[in-house]
Structures are given as structure tokens and as C-alpha cells.
Structure 1
Amino acid sequence: MGAYRLGLKSGRHPVQRISAVAPSTPLFAAPTIKAGLPEANTRWSDRLWWFDWFTTEHLGEAPVWHYSPFGSGPADKASNWWAIPDFAGSGDIKGVWELSRLGWSVAFATQAAHGDVEALATLNRWLQSWLRDNPPYRGANWKCGQEASFRIIHLLATAIILGQERTPEPALAETIALHLERIAPTMSYAIGQDNNHGTSEAAAMFVGGSFLSALGWPKARHWTATGRRWLENRARHLIAPDGSFSQYSVVYHRLMLDTYSFVEMWRQRWDLAPFSGTMHTRLIAATRWLDAMVDRTSGDAPNLGANDGARLLPLTESDYRDFRPSLQMASVLFRGQRAIGDHGSWDDQLRWLGISPDTTTLSRPASETFDDGGFHVLRTGRASAYLRYPRFRFRPSQADLLHMDLWVDGLNLLRDAGTFSYNAEPETSEYFAGTASHNTVQFDERDQMPRLGRFLFGAWPKARRVEFVSKGETLRCAAAYTDHRGARHHREILLRSHGFTCTDTIDGRFDAAVLRWRLLPDAYRLENHRLSSNRMRLSINCNDSDIRINLTNACESRYYMHREQIPTLEIAFNHSCKIVTTGEF
């Protein structure tokens, strides 16, 4: 990444020399109407959506592409993209980028595929508006290669839905090409980040390159080969043998898996050469990992790790926090079997992309330890519990060591705070990424790791006394760590069909500490050391009589740029001790 930045500073980077003229004609023709299609996604018919929760009305007119409802002013739309600072003055840039990912294009395509002429007209009008207001390589919407990759994937998904991926309008091919020209020169920067930027951009190079190769574009074969090479490389490097992903995040894991699912669907559709057995094996493991995280009742999953609102291929009206469509598609493509036996909206994504969901169904995942990434998963009857512990091969983005998540009957009873925003005021960003926003022990009002930058912690602890999930009528797991200042925390969890026991042993060097339990919003009663609601009862026992127990409120963010208050139980103490939390549900 240093060479990339030096090249830009010198003015000699190849990306600074590219230029293009955007097409001005429609990107899509009227489709041939087919019977038996899934229901159309009509969410965008009269509303604009940001991060699946903030919405405003539209009357068919195109959005203002450099506006964010969360920003302090319009983003730069005239400067060369490489001259725009990473955190410029329009607030969190993701609010600007959200509509420019073109996720709405696949929604309008599902309507147009049903014969909705106005939806097709809106689709073309908005795309032409975007190309006109975002001239190639100028303005904030060209700043990120991954954002350009999302546009390629959504445009090609739109072409599939409309049956035009093999006989495209010239404007579509030109648009794909000018995006690949933007992505190709900065691939090294994306790869250097060791995260989903590399997987997304490699996916766009592969699918976009093979699309243009069939049309005879000169550079297309090179783009395709580059995409294939980096897809293979990233799968080997970023996905651990147990399926854990480099970003230690459920949302980013889904994004990575969705890009690989789209690539595999595209490869099969075009009868391209298979990828390696190693890549396929890693993607099977990554699918198993997501399967272990997803709650079948709600479709939701623990809010573990960074959550930036990313969602690829919104082909159905399912909620952003419903992970079942992604899980089902990956399972059918990589494991050859359905993850979810019942038919539902999670199958519609497959049908729109021409993937047959009619396969056998896998059994529900059992309790398991994913030690490569540092995750214990306990599952019995109605309940699931998750314990996060440090196994860092890549940089962590949250100080969430020994966080516990608890789910019962589809409800997240003990929960993670999420992320909120990458560019909020420092106090807010540090809170959501920090130890105080997790169900764990915080020592001396500091994070478990010292913060070195906006996205970087230092002094990564090593997991100790890790005990893999032991199975039986009562499930058990454990892990411990010692931080850079000598404070020690060991956590053991026992999960039963109607309750749990969490034993925290705390010692080492510290002056004061707090154990937090972040709770499902509900009416709670705290009496002495007992907390109760209609859904759960917690009892706190400690060998230190000086502990102070308080029921307070704290912030939570389940959707990017959205936050609300949730009840939080805090147990404060000043000495080494053992705290036993017993839960009944």
C-alpha cells in the first residue's frame, strides 16, 4: 500500500493516466417476459433506501448522487478521485456511496422482468443519470475500487435477470469496461488490505472480464485471468481452513461469500473452467462458518465484528439482517445441498440467478469451535451461545475479546453493539469498536488493546486455556487472555436447553473493572443481585462482597448509521474475583 500511495503522490501512478467517455444511451432493452418468475422486489418503487433502514420518498426522479442524508454537505463531484481525501468534509462517505452501489438496479430489474415498463424506464433513466453526473474517474463515487466492483456485479446481475448478459446493449459493455479500467490499476492496493476489497475487486475483474471477452474486447482476457488469479489467492490467504475470514465479522463474511457465490454462479452459467479444489474447499468451510452463525428462526446473526451495512444482491425484500438468502445460495453452490429445507424468500435469489434450489437439505449445524478465527458456537434446543476469543492472524477491528452472544427462540437476549459509523466523532467510533460495547470485562476504562489508528489496534493478546466445545446434555467451552498491562480474564460458558452459566475469573494488574451484559430491549426488574424480565432471568454471584450492580442504558447499532438505547447490566469491582452469571429462559 505504501508503493500505491507513493505512486499517487508522485503523479506517476497508472490510474492517474486513464480517461474515458461514459455512454449516453440506455443500458438495457425491454426483456422477453417469462412465466414462473419469483415475486418482484418493489421496495424501490417509490422510496430511496440507505442501509435498509433510512428511507425517503421519490417520484421517479433520479437520486442526487453526491448527497448523503447523514452528511454535512455534498461530496466532491468534480475533482480527480485520487485527489479527494479519504475522510473529506461530507461526513461518512458511505452515505454517498450507498445509492451508487446500484443495488436498486436489481430491484427494478425484477419488476421489469415481470413486464413493468415503467420500472425498466426508471432503471435506464437512473443509470444514465448516474453516468452523466459521475463522469469517469471524477468525484467521490469513483474513489473506491470496491464500490466500482459492486456496480459491476449489480449491473451483470441485472443483465441476467433481464436475459441480456449474452446480447447486451453497447452502453452496458462500455460501462463495464470503464469500471474495469478503474479497478485494474489499483488491485495491488485492494490486495494489500487483506480484506473484502481484494475479494470484491477480483470478483468484478473475473465476471466483468469474461463478459467483455465474449464480446471481443481487447483487454478482457487479461482482466479475466487477473480476477481468477486473485480469487484463488484470496481464498487461500484470507479464508482459514475452518472457514473463518480475515475480518472476524459476520457481515463482512457474508459479503465475501456473496461475491464468491456470484462468481461461481457466473462460472457455471458461462461454462468456464472450474476453480481449484483448494478454493472450493475453503468456500465450503466458509459456508459452514456462516451456517453456524445464522439463527434459522429470524434469519439474523450475531452482530460480531465490524458492520458497515454492506449487502450485495438485494434481489428480495428480505431485511438486511436476514442472512438466509446468502446462506442458501452459498450452500447450494459450494456444498451441493440446501442449508434451509423449507422453501421461502431465501430461495428467490437463486431462482432469479438461474440456480436450481431443488437439492437435498443438510442437517442443522451442531456446536463447534472455529479455532482458526477464535469462535466457540454452542447450540442446544432453543438456545445458541457464541464466545469470541483472540486468534489474530489479521488485524482486529474491534476490542471484543471474550464477548458472549446469546440467542433464544430467535431473540438476541445478550448482544453486541455493532459499529454505527466509520467516520463519526472519535468518541462515538471508539465506543462502538471498543471493549465497553461488548459483553465482557473492561479493565480501568480502557480497551483490551491500545488503539493505534482509526482501524488499527496494537498489542494483540494471545488466547490461553482454550477449551473446545465439549458436547453432551450440557455444552461447555472456555478461553482466556492476558492483556498488555497484565490484566487477566478467563471465561467458561455452560449452555443447557433452558439456561446458561458464565463463570468469569478476573485477576492480574488492574485497579477497577466492569463486567457488562447488554440486553434485549424489554422491561427489567433489578432486585439485589437478580435481574428479571418476561424472557430471561439473570443471577449474579461473586466471591467479592464489594461488587456494585447497576442497570443502565447504552448504545446499540444493528444497522449502519442507526443507533438506539438498550438496557445494560453493569457489575463493577476493584479486586481479583470470580463472578458467576446464571441465566434462565
Structure 2
Amino acid sequence: MNPVKQTSHLIQNMGWRGFIFRATYEFRRKSGLLKSGYPTKVKVEKFTDLAGWKRTGGKFFFPSKEDIKKFDVLTDEARIQLKKEFTDIEQGKIRFFNGLVMDLGRDYDWLTNPETGYKYDINKHWTKIKDFDPASGDIKYVWEKSRFSYLYTIIRYDFHYGIDQSAFVLNEITSWIDKNPLNFGPNYMSSQEIALRLLNWTFALYYYKNSPQLTEETFQKIIHSLYWQAKHIEKNIDFSRIAVRNNHAISECAAIYLIGWLYPFFPESTQWQENGKEWLEEEGLYQVYTDGSFLQFSMNYHRIVVQLFTWIFYLGKKNGDIFSIELNKRLKTSVEFLYQHQDVSTGHMPNYGANDGSLFFPLNSCEYRDFRPQLNAFYNYFYQKTLYGAGIWNEDLMWYGYVPTYTNHVQAEQKSKAYKVGGFFVLRDAQKFAFIRCGSHKDRPSQADNLHVDIWLNGKNIIRDAGTYKYNASPEDTKFFMGTASHNTIQLNDYDQMLKGGRFIWYHWSQALDVDIFEQADANTFQGKAQVYGHVHPEIIHFRKVKQYKNEIKWKIEDIIQFPAEAKLPQFTKKQIWNISPDFFDLGFTITTRDQFGKEVEPIIQDAFYSTTYGVKEPSKQIIFESSSDFLQTVIEQKATATAEQKGMVAAAAAG
């Protein structure tokens, strides 16, 4: 791609302001000008003493450990699992990205990538460290423990088992401070990681406020580090607010706002409260669309925003501050949006969109894919009642200081809905639902997946999104997971729907042109079209109709690929892709496809991958129908059992 076109596409991804800011920022970083704004040697100031903080600090979810009313929502299984996870952490085994457990040892240096063994140079200023370097590996593996989300498991163990862990927790924090001098090394590179670290340290400080282990010396060490890390966020926040504008910006603004309230003795605290609130209003209304969908087109990143604003709204209100009616309305709609896409029996959402395994404040025993704890806590803020009734998902709410009531609980209705602003569509009945993505992009898409379809039945995701895997993966893995091949849509030859640029950039964004859902006597139906493969030709259109039958476990999908009549294009093979669950055939599902002449297309079952959380991929299967036809009609339905022929196809594919 020539430089002029490349620049034009980069501007589309970032906007003029973001493009200019980022170019200037990179020049300042490479030239050393940026380094001067982030000192490594600072005067040690005493902002207050421990007694002063206890007396004048802002209001948290709870004043201290001793003030939390005892509650027990854990099942026997959850108690056993909590103890096991705590024992793992005690031995230096940390769960990474809410998936794989990695053994870091008891004396981890906070600098070594456990995946590659590469140790970052702690004598390098953070502006001189590369965040993407094949030699060092994925830097997220170094950042993960330094985020300190694992502290919640230790604190929950302390609370539920009644065994004090203050020495362990405070030692983890001071160990990090000792081994990460200010603005040196990889753990100062991401302001979002700093923001999360400070919020998680704050939770621990309030919980252990009255512990004898929290000495004056320890308090001063933590507060000094916390202050200068907050200064780092403030200094660098325009990078997220102008050049990035996604959940990073909300995380950093949340930290500035909440630190301003909870540590009122810092010189900038009042200004941080004011600036943080102004920025959060701006980012919330910009990033959460009017229909409740989120500009990153990701279910998990959307949950991140819910978690952050749950803290912001609850703690803001406790400290006498509330946000605008418009932002409240927008975020209430946001909770409703996620709930309508949820399988309530499991709490799962479609495995859709970029997913880095983040769950900032894990205050419950539910699995990572279960969204109920976070949606329930925020729902309670708006409605003063639980969303799901009794269950272990209420633990978050209890940590936030609320006793849930279940009297006369009625489950909120889920129904077919069209979210046209974000491009999300749900067809629902009591047993099943189909999720369809068909979006017009005014903000940067993360995956080439327009007109993707998910199908769910009785809590099982039978036709599914393959997930994300890793951002810093091999070219082959990146192409599969970020590209069209891992999604349930139509692929032309081996092209992606959009042209891949560097890192998270796509060129020639796909765009929805006309889309809606409607109800018929026998079915709920989605119908839409999207402009796709713009780098092949700007007038290629994909029409898709998804019909979900009401009284049958059956879906009919019709696809038409329309090419411009006068364009001299090669003959394309259309590949209709279906990523299936492992038990697709065992559950008795069949799938058949016919072309425009009514001829049945032979299915191809091939090996693929599935990733439920970051850094983890497992073998999976795809059913692909290849045809030269511009029209394909597919029927997916459940019959009693899989046929011998289908089982034979799966066995042959596995053997091959």
C-alpha cells in the first residue's frame, strides 16, 4: 500500500486528532523528549500519616475488614475452589488472564516473562522499552501479576476462612515497590495497568486498614508509590483520551477520579476529582452508544466498562458525588444490552470480540465467562434489586456493601432486539437464541467478522465464535482469530473481509447497509446486508437472512454475494464457515446447504481452534461449505441423533 493511502487509512482508524497526537507522541518518545516528563528520582513527601488517612480518607465500599458484616454465599464447591486458588497463589502459582495457571515461584522478580523467560531491563526508562518485540514475547505476561487482581482471591480467602493474610498482601505490594523503581522497567509502560494496580492496592489498604501489619513505615512506602504512579497516569492521560479512546481511557480516568476522593490529602486531589469526573462523562457518552452497545464491539471489554463504572458510581455516590442523568441513562441501557445477549442459565455471553482475559475485580467464585456478578452489581445500582435472584453471583454486591433481597424476584424479560447503532441483533424464544453482528463502523473494528452468527440452545453455544487467543501471536494465529476464518460468515477464497494493517489496524472497513429484525407467525427473522471485501472491490455486498423458527429447533440462513456487474473480477470460491461446538453432532444437530440450483453442497469438516480466554487455544472443528454459487441456503436443525454418516465424517476429520 502506498504511503498516502496508508496514512489515509490510519487517519480513519484514529481520527485526525488522534493521528497527529500519536505521531507527535512517538516522535517525543523516540527523541527522548517524553522521558523528561517522567522523573525517576523524586523527593519523599509525607502527605499524611496513617492515623490521618484513617481519619480523613474518603469513603470506600467498607471502612475496614472489621466493619464488613459477615456473609456466606459460597457453595461447598466454591469454598473448596477458593482454598485451592489461595494455596496456588501462596506457592507462587498465578492464574493468567483468568485461564492458564503459571508457576512464577515464591520470589518472582516482577520483570520476567514466564512464557518466554525473557527478563526486562529494570535500568531502562519505560519510554525506552518496546511493548511488541518477538525476542521478549507478549508483554501482557509481565503485566498480568503486576495488575494485582489476584489480591482479591487472597482477601476473599481471608474473609471466608477467617485466616488473616495482611502480612502476605502487604508484602506483595511492598515487594513490587522495591523491585520497580519509579518510571523504570516494563510495569510503567501502560497507564491502564498502573490505574488497575492502584485501585487494587486501594481495596487491600481499606480492607487491612486496622491490621498491625500496616505500619506507619509500610503505609508511607505505599502512599508515596501510589501518589507518583497516579501522577504518571495524569501526565500521560491524553494518550488514552486522544490517541486510543477505548476502555484504557475509562480505566485511567476512573483511577484519577477515585484516587482524588479516597486520598484527599494529595495536593492535586480536588483537581483529580473534577478532571476525572469531566473526562468520565465525556468518555462514557462517547464510548457507550445510545443503544447501549460499546465502541470496541467486544463483550468482555464491555464488561470491563461495566465494572469500572460500578466502582465509579457507587464510590462517587458514597462520597457525595453523582453523575449526569444522560450518563446514568446510557449506562443503564448498557446493562440491558448485555443482559439481552446473555444465556442466563450459565451467565455466558457470545465469545465475541477482542478478549484479553481481563476481569479487573474478581470478587466471586463464578467462572470467567459468567457475566452475572458484574451485571448484577451494576443493575442493583440503578434498580435497588438483584437481576438474577439468589446465587453466588451476589458476592460482588455484598463486598460493595449491599445485602441483596430476593423477595418476589421475577426474572427480567429477554426478547428479540435490534441494536442498530452498534450493529447487534438477537432473535430469542424460551429455549434458544441467535446472535448476529451486522455493523456500520464509525469506530475502529477489531475483527473482520460482519454478518457473523452465533446459535445457542438451552445454555449451549452450538455455533460459536472461535475467540481471540492472543494479540501478539504468530501471523498464522493472528490471521485466523482476528480474521474472517474464525467467524460464522462468508469468506471469499482466503481473503479477510477487510485488509489487515499493523497491530490492531484494519483498512477498508466493512459497513452494514440495511438491516432489521421482524416477527412472523412461525419465526423471528433477521435480514441485513453489508459492504465487505472493499480491498478486493468496493461494491461487493453480502446479504444474509437468518430465520429462527418458533416451534422447532431450526434455523434457516440464506446468503447472497453480490458482485458489481461490470467489474472484471476473478471467479471466487465462497466459503460458508460454521465453527461448531464439540457436541454439535452428539446433540443430534444436522446442517445442510444448497446452492442456487437446489443442489446440495458437500460439507468439509476441518480442524480449527477455539479460545475461551487469552493465551489459551484448544482444537476445534469447522464445517465449511465451498461453492462457486452466489446463493447458499443453509438449514441447521436438531434431530434425535446424529447420523452414522455425520459421525463418520467427524471421526475421519479427527483422524486426518
What does the per-residue CA deviation read over 1:23-66, in whole Å, with 9 as the maximum and x for residues that have no partner?
A: 9x99999943755234574423324211222114577x343412
- 1:160 is displaced (CA, Å) by 4.4
- 1:314 is displaced (CA, Å) by 0.8
2:566 — aligned with what?
Answer: none
Amino acid at match of 2:38: Q
1:153 — aligned with what?
Answer: 199
In the superposition, relative to structure 1, how do residues 134 and 263 fare at CA in structure 2: closer, same or farther (>3 Å)? same
In the superposition, relative to structure 1, how do residues 159 and 289 fare at CA in structure 2: closer, same or farther (>3 Å)? farther
Say which is worse superposed, 540-549 or 233-242, in terms of deviation.
Answer: 540-549
- 1:458 is displaced (CA, Å) by 1.4
In the superposition, relative to structure 1, how do residues 548 and 537 fare at CA in structure 2: closer, same or farther (>3 Å)? closer
What does the per-residue CA deviation read over 1:421-456, in whole Å, with 9 as the maximum and x for residues that have no partner?
A: 111112211211000110000012100011122111
Instruction: Provide the C-alpha distance between the structure 2 equivalents of 1:77 and 1:21, rounded to a whole number of angstroms.
Output: 21
Query: In the alignment, is residue 6 of structure 1 matched against residue 54 of structure 2?
Result: no
Instruction: Provide the C-alpha distance between the structure 2 equivalents of 1:248 and 1:224, rounded to a whole number of angstroms.
Output: 29
Say which is worse superposed, 246-255 or 418-427, in terms of deviation.
Answer: 418-427
2:644 — aligned with what?
Answer: none
SS at match of 1:557: strand
Amino acid at match of 2:260: G
- 1:113 is displaced (CA, Å) by 3.5
SS at match of 1:378: strand
* Aligned 8 A contact 1:44 1:104 in 2: no
In the superposition, relative to structure 1, how do residues 21 and 106 fare at CA in structure 2: closer, same or farther (>3 Å)? farther
* Aligned 8 A contact 1:369 1:468 in 2: yes
Query: In the alignment, is residue 288 of structure 1 matched against residue 322 of structure 2?
Result: no
2:100 — aligned with what?
Answer: 54
| Alignment match of 1:493 (pick from 540, 546, 552) | 546
Say which is worse superposed, 40-49 or 248-257, in terms of deviation.
Answer: 40-49
| Superposition pairs of residues 24-39 of structure 1, within 5 angstroms | 31-32=65-66, 35-38=69-72, 39=74
Instruction: Provide the C-alpha distance between the structure 1 equivalents of 2:631 and 2:289, rounded to a whole number of angstroms.
Output: 36
| Alignment match of 1:66 (pick from 87, 111, 123) | 111
SS at match of 1:45: helix
Amino acid at match of 1:351: M
Instruction: Provide the C-alpha distance between the structure 2 equivalents of 1:575 and 1:457, rounded to a whole number of angstroms.
Output: 28
Instruction: Provide the C-alpha distance between the structure 2 equivalents of 1:57 and 1:144, rounded to a whole number of angstroms.
Output: 24
| Alignment match of 2:506 (pick from 438, 457, 477) | 457
2:558 — aligned with what?
Answer: 503
Higher helix share: 2
| Superposition pairs of residues 439-450 of structure 1, within 5 angstroms | 439-450=488-499
| Alignment match of 1:263 (pick from 297, 300, 312) | 312
| Superposition pairs of residues 178-189 of structure 1, within 5 angstroms | 178-189=228-239
SS at match of 1:563: strand
Amino acid at match of 1:132: D
What does the per-residue CA deviation read over 1:242-292, in whole Å, with 9 as the maximum and x for residues that have no partner?
A: 01111000010001111111111211222x221111111111111111111
Amino acid at match of 2:247: N
1:517 — aligned with what?
Answer: 578
Instruction: Provide the C-alpha distance between the structure 1 equivalents of 2:114 and 2:130, rounded to a whole number of angstroms.
Output: 20
Instruction: Provide the C-alpha distance between the structure 2 equivalents of 1:57 and 1:7, rounded to a whole number of angstroms.
Output: 38
In the superposition, relative to structure 1, how do residues 22 and 561 fare at CA in structure 2: closer, same or farther (>3 Å)? farther
1:582 — aligned with what?
Answer: 636
| Alignment match of 1:312 (pick from 328, 343, 360) | 360
Say which is worse superposed, 154-163 or 103-112, in terms of deviation.
Answer: 154-163
Query: In the alignment, is residue 93 of structure 1 matched against residue 144 of structure 2?
Result: no
| Superposition pairs of residues 76-475 of structure 1, within 5 angstroms | 76-88=121-133, 89-114=135-160, 116-117=162-163, 119-162=165-208, 169-192=219-242, 193-213=244-264, 216-270=265-319, 272-341=320-389, 343-358=390-405, 363-470=412-519, 473-475=522-524
* Aligned 8 A contact 2:65 2:206 in 1: no
Instruction: Provide the C-alpha distance between the structure 2 equivalents of 1:275 and 1:18, rounded to a whole number of angstroms.
Output: 36
In the superposition, relative to structure 1, how do residues 469 and 267 fare at CA in structure 2: closer, same or farther (>3 Å)? farther
Count of residues paired in the alignment: 571
Instruction: Provide the C-alpha distance between the structure 1 equivalents of 2:210 and 2:623, rounded to a whole number of angstroms.
Output: 55
Instruction: Provide the C-alpha distance between the structure 2 equivalents of 1:202 and 1:355, rounded to a whole number of angstroms.
Output: 25
Amino acid at match of 1:127: I
Query: In the alignment, is residue 572 of structure 1 matched against residue 626 of structure 2?
Result: yes
Query: In the alignment, is residue 45 of structure 1 matched against residue 99 of structure 2?
Result: no
Normalization by structure 2: what TM-score?
0.82
* Aligned 8 A contact 1:134 1:141 in 2: yes
- 1:10 is displaced (CA, Å) by 4.0
* Aligned 8 A contact 1:34 1:113 in 2: no
* Aligned 8 A contact 2:452 2:487 in 1: yes
* Aligned 8 A contact 2:39 2:182 in 1: no
Larger radius of gyration: 2
Instruction: Provide the C-alpha distance between the structure 2 equivalents of 1:471 and 1:159, rounded to a whole number of angstroms.
Output: 57
Instruction: Provide the C-alpha distance between the structure 2 equivalents of 1:580 and 1:102, rounded to a whole number of angstroms.
Output: 47
- 1:187 is displaced (CA, Å) by 0.7
SS at match of 1:495: strand
* Aligned 8 A contact 1:210 1:220 in 2: yes
* Aligned 8 A contact 1:84 1:140 in 2: yes
In the superposition, relative to structure 1, how do residues 489 and 354 fare at CA in structure 2: closer, same or farther (>3 Å)? same
- 1:21 is displaced (CA, Å) by 7.6
In the superposition, relative to structure 1, how do residues 417 and 135 fare at CA in structure 2: closer, same or farther (>3 Å)? same
For structure 1, the residue ranges without an aligned partner over 5 or more in a row are 525-531
SS at match of 1:575: coil
Query: In the alignment, is residue 536 of structure 1 matched against residue 589 of structure 2?
Result: yes
Aligned-residue identity in percent: 26
In the superposition, relative to structure 1, how do residues 163 and 115 fare at CA in structure 2: closer, same or farther (>3 Å)? farther
- 1:85 is displaced (CA, Å) by 1.3
Instruction: Provide the C-alpha distance between the structure 2 equivalents of 1:310 and 1:512, rounded to a whole number of angstroms.
Output: 38
Amino acid at match of 2:395: D
Amino acid at match of 2:226: I
Instruction: Provide the C-alpha distance between the structure 2 equivalents of 1:266 and 1:468, rounded to a whole number of angstroms.
Output: 39
Amino acid at match of 1:439: N
What does the per-residue CA deviation read over 1:347-395, in whole Å, with 9 as the maximum and x for residues that have no partner?
A: 0011012134337655132210111110111111111110001221100
Say which is worse superposed, 440-449 or 11-20, in terms of deviation.
Answer: 11-20
Amino acid at match of 1:309: G
Amino acid at match of 2:203: A
For structure 2, the residue ranges without an aligned partner over 5 or more in a row are 1-21, 55-62, 564-568, 640-656
In the superposition, relative to structure 1, how do residues 62 and 352 fare at CA in structure 2: closer, same or farther (>3 Å)? farther
Instruction: Provide the C-alpha distance between the structure 1 equivalents of 2:266 and 2:556, rounded to a whole number of angstroms.
Output: 62
